[in-house]
Every structure is written in structure tokens, then in C-alpha cells.
Amino acid sequence: MAKQHKWVYAFEEGSAKMRNLLGGKGANLAEMTNIGIPVPPGFTITTEACIAYQDTGDFPEGMWEQTLEYMDDLNKKTGKVFGDDSNPLLVSVRSGARVSMPGMMDTILNLGLTPAGVEVMGKKFGDLRFAWDLYRRLVQMYGKVVLEVPAEPFEEIIAEIRKEEGAATDAGISAEGWKKCAERFKKLVEKHTGEPFPEDPTEQLRLGVEAVFKSWNGKRAVDYRNNFGIPHDWGTGVNVVTMVYGNFADGQSGTGVAFTRNPSTGEKKFYGEYLLNAQGEDVVSGARTPSDVFELEKEIPNAWEDLMAISDKLEAHYHEMQDIEFTIESGKLWMLQTRNGKRTAASIVKIAVDMVKESLITEEEAVARASEDVIDQLLHPRFDTKALAKTDVLAHGLNASPGAAVGKVYFDADTAQAKTNEGEAVILVRPLTEPDDVHGMLAAKGILTQEGGATSHAAVVARQLGKPCVAGCGDINIDLQKRLFTVGSVTVKEGDVISLNGAKGDVYLGQIPVVVPEFEEQTELQAILGWADKIRRLMVWANADTPDQATRARSYGAQGIGLCRTEHMFLGERTQLFQNYILADDKAAKIEALSKMLPEQRDDFFGIFKAMDGLPVIIRLIDPPLHEFLPKREELMVEVALGKERGQDVSDKEKLLAKAEELAEYNPMLGLRGVRLGVMMPDVNQMQVRAIFEAACMAAKEGVHVHTEVMIPLTAHVNELKTLQKLLVDEAKAVMDEQGIEVNYKFGTMIEIPRAAITAGEIAELAEFFSFGTNDLTQMTYGVSRDDAERHFLLQYVEDGILPTNPFQTIDRDGVGVLMERCVNEGRATRPDLEIGICGEHGGDPDSIDFCHLIGLNYVSCSPFRVPIARLAAAHAVMREQGWDRLGDLGALNPKRG
């Protein structure tokens, strides 16, 4: 007889290494159990069972029978009996995916309790209020999660009971009050479903497990996974855990949420909140104001000592800051969860660097835990301090998640998402957020809540999303019906603009200017990137067109300039210089126009060489078609027609129009541009090469170590290089002879056309370096215009799964990537020391950087602001080859540690 598949594991049977099978929560409950930390007995139904359920809509064969067997085992461990009113065993049913998805899936507490069992528990514990509180929670959670009754009517009933009893908070409601509450809940359930509330504990358990499985594909969970790139086929585990009770009214019971370090700042200081006489979600719900966790030392000192010892033990065991949930039952501490704590970008790098100093982790582990998104967030704009000093604070709340956010106020998640899709910057304002609000939080620039604490849903999710959040802002009074909030005499209506300072918890009326943070001041980030530099093989260069951009790029760690676009030097006020050349009627006029352009170019190149002293600078000769330096033909036609109608002199505009019509092409991006323009009109390229080498010689004479590389764009055939490159090399040598000094130089080409990639061996006979222009290479490989494709169909292709990703954001390894790899191999077969890099937008994309590493490029080049991200991504590419898993995740796995 075939061995039955194992779908269920007791905590004693699991471990942290079984995360994929048991989910993160189940694996960590098992791990804590096995290292001697007090965890209530329980078991986990595997993620495999969840996936099987998604495929068929039914429990897989044998799963439910195994679940009942493990329930019998819990009966024996606890000395209680599930479903027995005289000695009831109560359990919770909790979700747990392999990565933390806080609040995205469902939980049910107190399963196994019936009205008859309430009376028994009330007598046994001498607290009937406590027992009825358990039961109403069961009806409420089960009604919402399993029977899909809306949440608001339950809260309205509780508010009615508080009013009837004159209770300020839920903790003041009597036993009779909770009994009435449970009865009204059950009537609500029957009204909504048409059926009485189910009282059979075994059936409740079965439907509860099924509800957790279903919640894996609930909207909020799917939205969350889409945002964080979590695969939809992982599934969730289901954890069935013996209930422990923090809602005794004995002054020695409570529940809490805490972090072993501060998740906002990274400070090595225990951080969290708790409530006495509470259970489950009470701490984060906002219904009651929790106490700072340090107050626990005074109220339940023995439990506090145990909590501190367990905190230290967990950090030492996991080598990571932990987010923990605990319950204290009559002075006894129980751990209900531990996981790697979500935190802000600033705290991620601080905690990693501190843990290296504390010898808890290695430098490599610190690099592994940093993500490209974290670096991006650290370089995000912040409020201008001068403007901030002149602006009055409208309201103040908890600094739940740092950062600066400016946007229009909207009061529900659906509207926030819709307005963001319309292009508006949005601030989501809610009394408090719930898991169903996640799609609005994803869309918003920032989040403001009237209620909730530092461990509330809004705070935890905002920190993970990297969104500024001000929580528990009691200064504001929200009126959802009127779509406004007030602060004293000030009214803020939907659509009004506010600014949030998440680092301070301040709210401001109107828009406050933002500034880019100083990279040099971020010492922890500098440390991690320094460690990344020790690991990576790829060099990281930058795209820069001005000395200022080059200086910034170097300050961010750029090791060279991979693309200096010379055409950008003729935009704005200088456009007229190039127009004079384009409009010149004879050779003399062209020479005069070029003579005025040369010193402008030379000065720019000189500044860039000085900024990049000792580092290579690749300068691309003019690439766009000439018509781009003229006004648009359609605009000129209108201006000429209107001018004539008004009797104005339009001769100059007519000349421009005539030239624009002469240069017009059906498909200019495939027309007279790049190397073709150089072949047909070599004097422009010759002027540019002269400017480059005059600047290089001038800089060298001042002691600057110049490494210049001249790049000819858009080569398709080796004969184009044979025709143009010799002219340009001769010009360069002539300048150096005139200046009486030699400088290091190379001539190479951009690989942007598929034919160039295919014939790379021939092209490398002349070109001393290649640089992939992956934007054009992708356009020509796919046969699309990027702008048109993204506007009309490409994004829909990605959304519908026709394409896995946007090929203009991430290199298409199976198409464009094949051309690139062939180009590398054939080019180096001809010229073994051929320098090859990438200078398209893909140079700053982590997945594309990984591919560039794999095919052996020398460098990637990206915008200056992406340089720190590229440095980290290049290190991750090496580590991925070494067997590291979950890079960029707080749970990154070191193959040496196991």
C-alpha cells in the first residue's frame, strides 16, 4: 500500500528550514518550540495542501483525516477536548505564507467554544465576562472571515453595547454586555446569511481552514503579492494553535506586539506596545490605546524579564531583528509568533551595519539583506528644511514611517487608487487602515490615520512599502460622509493638498518643497555599498552629459562615464548654434557655424575630464537625426501661415520650414542618424573629435589623467566604421600633434542594431570597445517603437501575461539577450581584450545587471542616481552565483550558514 502524503506537521516535527513547506509562521513556531521557547502546542497544515486546494476547490486526499488526528494529539497534550463543552479545547486558525504578508490573510480565534462551553469556562476560571468575550470574538471573526459578513455592523453593535453600559472602552463592558453582544452578532449573521450561526466546533474548524486557503487568493493578498513580486503559486500554511488568554481581567494578562529593535530608526532598543485584558488584534486595531511595552516591567515584572531574555535569544538565533507577538496569561508568557521584522529603509541599513559590528552577521550578509528598493528609498527627496521652518504644523501624530509625502486627500482606498491611475499624487486618509485598504496604500504617496499606534496595520504596512505614514493622529476629526477632516477651525476637504512628515509625525496644509538627500551623509549606506564593492566584478559607470552630472555620479561611486551624449550639449540656448550649421547654404557658412560650436563642446568636455580625473569617459558622437534640432514642422507651418495672415516678415521661419521639410523622414529613428550622418556629413563628427581631443590635451597638461573613449553610434556594417573611423582617428592624431601631448584614447561603437550584434566579429576588427544601446536594440529586435508600443499595447501585454515583463525595463534574455551574448562571444573571439558595457536604461535595472554579469560584460552604465543601486545589484549577481538565496530580503540565506 502506497504511503499517504503528509499534509500536517506538529510544531515539534518542523523547523525554520521548512519555511517553504510550513510557511514562515509555522516554521518559526516550530523553531521556537524546538529551541525551548514557550509556544502553545499546535500544528501546521502545509502550503502544498493550500496549492492543491486552489487547483481543485477541495481538500487534498487525506488532509482532513490527518488534521483530525493532530487535533486528537492536541487533546492529549493539553488535557482538554476539542468539541467537549465540559472541558473545551479552544484553538486559533492562522495563515502563514513563506514570506511575511502582514494582515493580508485571515485569522480566527477561539474555535471550539459553544454557548454551553462559555458557562463551563466562566465557572472554571471564575470570570464569566472573560468567557463571553471569547465567544463574541469567535462569532465576530468567524462571521467576517468564513461567512463574509461585513465588518462594520459588528463594530456598530459593540458601540451600542458600550453606550448602553456607559463603558468608555471595550474593557469596561460587563459579562452580560458581552453576552448580549454575542446574541446580536448571531442575529446579524443569520440576517446576512439566511442560516443560524454554526455551533459544531469540528465544522467550524473545517470551514475555518478552508477560509484561510481561500484568503490566499483574496483581493488584498493578490494586490500585495503583485506589488512585492511574490509568486502566486506559493500558497499559505494554516497554523492551528492552542488558545492562550490575554483577556483575563486579573491585571496579569495581556497581549502585545514588539520588535527587538526600533523598526523606524534601527536603534538597538526594544520597541512595541501591549494591552492588558486583551486578545488577538486588539493591540493593532486602534479600538483601544495600547501602552508602551516598557510599562510592562512595572505591571508584570516576571513576564517582562522573560520577554527580554527571549528577545535576546531570538536575535542571537536568527541573526536578525525580530517582530514578535506574545500573550501573557495570568503572568505566564507565551510566544505566538516571531518573524524577521519589517522596517524602514534607513533602519534596514543601520541594523545590518550594527549587527556586523556586533559580530552577529558578516559583511556579506549585510549586503545580502539590502535591496535595490531600499537604496532607492534612501535617496528619495525630503522636505526642504527652510520651507519646513516657515510652515505651521496642522496636526501631529505618531511618526509611524519616515519620509516626505505631498498629495491630495482622499478618504477611501478605491478612490485613492483611481485618482493615482489618473496621474494624481494621493494621500490616503482613514480613521484607521485595514487589510482591505492595501490597494489604496499601494497607490498613495503617504498614509494618515486618526487612530492606531506604532504597531498598527497602517504603520507596519507603510514601513514595508516605504511610504511615509502618520498614524494615531488624534488632532484630526474625520467625517467620512462629508469627505473631510477638521483640525480645530480648519477644514480639509477631499481633493485638498496636504504634506506629511513621516519622520516627525507632522501634518501640514498645502505643498512643501522637497530636496534630494545628501548621499555622502548616509554613513551606514556607504558602509554597505563599500562591502558590496568588495564582492562585485562588474564596474559601475554613469551616464552624464555635464560636469555637474559627472561630479554627482562620481560622488555616488561611479567608476567612469559610460555615455556622454553630445547632442544634449546643443539643447536650450545652444540650439541656435546647431541650427546655423543645418541652415548653412555653403561650405564656408558651415565651417563658420562649426567654429562657433567647437569651443562650447570643448569647454564641456574639459569640465567632464576634470571631474572624472583618472577614470574613463565614453563620449558618443551626435546620434539623433538633424530635424530634432529644428522646430516641429507642423508648428512652423502654423506660424508661417499666421504670420503671413498678419502681414509679418516670416522669411526666417520659411527657411526653417523648408529645411524641416527637406529633412523630414517617414521613420526618422531608422533614417539619417548616428554613423550614417557621420558618413554623409563627416565635418560635424570631425569637429566633435577635435573638441574632445583639444579638451583632453588641455586637461592632461593640467595634470588630469585622461582616459577618453570616442563612441560612434548606430553601426550596422563594418564598412561604415572603415569609412568614418579612419577620418576621426586622423583628426585625433592631428590635434595631439598640434598640442604636443599624447592622451589615452579608444574608438569604439554602440551595438544597437541586430546586424551589428550578429556580425560583431567583423566589427571588432576596428572597434576597440562595444557599448550596448539596449533601448534601440530592443526596439529593433521587437520591431516596435517604444513610445507607441507602451502607449498602445505593450503594458497590456505585460498585464495579460503575453510578455513576462516590459522589455524596455528589463532585458529580454531569450531574445535581445541571445543577441547580446553572441555579440560578446564573437567580438572577443576577434579581440580578446574587447571592453564591453551597456549604457541603455537597462544599466540601472537589477535583473538586467544580473544578466550583464552572467554574459561577462565589463561594466554597466546608468543615470547617476541609479549608481548606488547598480553597485549593490552587481554584488548580488556574484552572490547569486555563489548560492545565496532570497537576496535583497531580510531573510537572505547564507549558503555557509545554512
* pLDDT at site 288: 74
Q: How confident is the model at residue 343 (pLDDT cuts 50, 70, 90)?
A: confident
Across the chain, mean pLDDT equals 91
Q: How confident is the model at residue 476 (pLDDT cuts 50, 70, 90)?
A: very high
Most distant CA atoms of the chain, gap in Å = 108
User: DSSP characters for 392-439?
Assistant: ---EE-EEEE-SEEEEEEESSHHHHHHHHHTT--EEEEESS--GGGHH
**What confidence tier does 277 reach under pLDDT thresholds 50, 70, 90?**
confident
pLDDT in the model for residue 1: 45
What would the mean pLDDT of 710-737 be, rounded to a whole number?
96
| More reliable by pLDDT, 753 or 579 | 753
Pairing of β 506-509 and β 835-838:
unpaired
Report angle CA 167, 168, 170 to the nearest 5 degrees: 75
Per-residue cell: 628 = 530634432
**Structure-block grid coordinates of residue 788:** 507607441
What single-letter amino acid sits at 120? V
Cell numbers at 785, concatenated: 517603437
Distance (Å, rounded) from C-alpha 654 to C-alpha 585? 15
Does 266 have pLDDT greater than 50? yes
Is 0.95 topped by the overall pTM?
A: no
Contact 47, 60 (CB under 8 A): no
3-state per-residue secondary structure call for 280-333: CCHHHHCCCCCEEHHHHHHHCHHHHHHHHHHHHHHHHHHCCCEEEEEEEECCEE
Cα–Cα distance measured from residue 211 to residue 108, given in angstroms and rounded to the nearest whole number: 10
8 Å CB contact between 329 and 319 = no
Say yes or no to pLDDT of 156 above 90: yes
Cβ-count burial of 434 within 10 angstroms (0-12 exposed, 13-18 middle, 19+ buried)? middle
What length does the chain have? Answer: 898
Q: Report the pLDDT averaged over residues 229-251.
A: 90
Residues 380 and 522: their CA atoms lie apart, in Å, by 12
Q: Which residues contact 592 (CB under 8 A, 6 or more apart)?
A: 580, 584
The answer, yes or no, to whether residue 634 has pLDDT greater than 60, is yes
Residue 111's pLDDT is what? 93
User: What mean pLDDT do residues 276-283 have?
Assistant: 78
Binned at pLDDT 50, 70 and 90, residue 323 comes out as: very high
Whole-angstrom Cα distance, residue 627 to residue 665? 9
DSSP string, 216-263: TTSHHHHHHHHHHT--TTS-EEEEEEE---S--SSSS-EEEEEESS-T
Catalytic residue among 839, 842, 853, 862: 839
pLDDT at 663 over 80: no
- Catalytic status, residue 457: yes
Residue 823 falls in the annotated catalytic set? no
Convert 565-605 into a string of H (helix), E (strand) and C (coil). EHHHHHCHHHHHHHHHHHHCCCHHHHHHHHHHHHHHHHHHH
Write the pLDDT tens digit of every residue in 840-884: 779 989 999 999 999 999 999 998 888 999 999 999 999 999 999
Does the pLDDT value for residue 573 go beyond 80? no
Indicate the pLDDT class of residue 572, thresholds 50, 70 and 90: low
What is the Cα–Cα distance from 167 to 182, expressed in whole angstroms?
17
Residue carrying the nine cell digits 540565506: 893
The pLDDT assigned to 103 comes to 65
- Distance (Å, rounded) from C-alpha 284 to C-alpha 834? 59
Q: Is 845 exposed, middle or buried (0-12, 13-18, 19+ CB in 10 A)?
A: buried
Q: CB neighbours (10 Å) of residue 669?
A: 15
Average pLDDT for 596-610: 94
The secondary element (H helix, E strand) that includes residue 499 is strand 497-501
Give per-residue pLDDT as tens, 533-543: 999 999 999 99
The alpha-carbon radius of gyration of the chain (Å, integer) is: 33
DSSP code for 885: B
Q: Poorest-confidence range of 301-310, 359-368, 574-583, 756-765?
A: 574-583
pLDDT at 2: 54
Cell of 345: 529603509
Task: State how far the Cα of 479 lies from the Cα of 450, in Å rounded to an integer.
Answer: 11
Cell triple for 51: 496549492
Beta carbons of 296 and 289 less than 8 angstroms apart: no
206: confidence class by pLDDT, cuts 50, 70, 90: very high
639 in Cβ contact with 653 (< 8 Å): yes
Which range among 39-53, 130-144, 376-390, 704-718 shows the weakest confidence by mean pLDDT? Answer: 376-390
Q: Which cell is 2 given?
A: 502506497
Q: What contacts 764, CB < 8 A, 6 or more positions away? A: 770, 826, 827, 828, 830, 831, 834
Report the number of secondary-structure helices (H) and strands (E) in the chain.
36, 31
| Average pLDDT of span 585-592 | 90
Contacts of 309 (CB under 8 A, 6+ apart): none
- How buried is 697 (Cβ within 10 angstroms: 0-12 exposed, 13-18 middle, 19+ buried)? buried
Stretch among 18-22, 441-445, 516-520 having the lowest mean pLDDT: 516-520
CB 659 within 8 A of CB 583: yes
pLDDT (tens digit per residue) in 159-196: 999 999 999 888 889 999 999 999 999 999 999 999 99
pLDDT digits 0-9 by tens, 668-715: 778 888 999 999 999 999 999 999 999 999 999 999 999 999 999 999
457, 627, 707, 853: the catalytic one is 457
Stated as kind and residue range, the H or E segment containing 498 is strand 497-501
Buried b (16+ CB within 10 A) or exposed e, 398-411: bbbbbbbbbbbbbb
Cell matching residue 164: 448602553
Burial class (CB in 10 A: 0-12, 13-18, 19+), 101: buried
Round to whole Å and give the CA distance between 435 and 630: 53
**Dihedral pair phi/psi, residue 405, rounded to 5°:** -135, 135
Helix, strand, or coil (residue 870): helix
